[in-house]
Amino acid sequence: MKRLVAYSSVSHLGLIVIGIGAFTSAAVTGSVLQMINHGLSTGALFLLVGVLYERTHTREIADYGGIAGAVPVTTALFLVATFSSIGLPGLNGFVGEFLILLGTWTSVHRWWAVAAATGVILSAIYMLSLVQRVFWNPVTREENRRLPEIRPTEAIGALALVVVMVWIGVRPNDFLDRVRPSVEQLRRSVATRKIATTSSWPSRALRVRSGQAPRGIPQEIAR
């Protein structure tokens, strides 16, 4: 179970890298937001996996099954965190993934968006399969029928993360309006450096051809 949650982390980070590589405004903004989303959804999932492990002392999916009736609150929290992780509309994951895919599709690297969308679909398949097998499959161990429910202190921590997930999903501009200025400043800075590097290259090449070493390069190396 813990391993599958870790695989979802790899999927999130892959999307983030694709968005940064595309380097459009929407893609980079989505990548920054997805970093926050990753911390929320994956953090909540690992927290809830720890809650279950503390009660059963196993993380093997085959040792669970049918525990939704015994721990309905834990099930609800785990389900919301899973929906957030796979990008269900109305939750934070959807906003970040949509911006990354849209921004990448409008860049010169369109096929990256296709690969990313495939990864999103596969992530949804194995995460929903995890939920099905752990919470709703037939009970494999009788002690799972008497599994203790999540404690109030644990529920408060998970619920705080769920509230932020819903907040970002319903009102994403509360966060995006704070991210966009920094993203635009970064893109302008990179564009300026690229122009400066491109414009200075011909003059450097001429100095090397004439035997004059560019600043910081020994004369012997230039020759």
Question: What pLDDT, on a 0 to 100 scale, did the predictor assign at position 219?
Answer: 47
Nearest to 21 by CA among 86, 95, 115, 94: 115
* Cβ-based neighbours of 109, under 8 Å, separated by 6 or more: 21, 22
> Please, how many CA atoms are within 13 Å of residue 80, restricted to the half-sphere of its CB?
23
Q: What pLDDT digit, counting tens, does each position of 14-51 carry?
A: 999 999 999 999 999 999 999 999 999 999 999 999 99
Q: What pLDDT digit, counting tens, does each position of 188-218 carry?
A: 999 888 787 776 655 555 454 555 545 544 4
Helix (H), strand (E) at residue 41: helix 25-56
* Cβ-based neighbours of 6, under 8 Å, separated by 6 or more: none
Provide the CA 181 distance to its chain's centre, in angstroms: 21
Average pLDDT, the chain: 89
Inter-residue contact 96 to 37 (CB < 8 Å)? yes
Question: What is the distance between the alpha carbons of residues 99 and 183, in angstroms, rounded to a whole number?
Answer: 13
Judged against a pLDDT cut of 90, whether residue 1 lies above it is answered with no
Inter-residue contact 137 to 68 (CB < 8 Å)? no
Question: What is the distance between the alpha carbons of residues 93 and 157, in angstroms, rounded to a whole number?
Answer: 19
Q: What pLDDT digit, counting tens, does each position of 113-158 carry?
A: 999 999 999 999 999 999 999 999 998 888 999 999 999 999 999 9
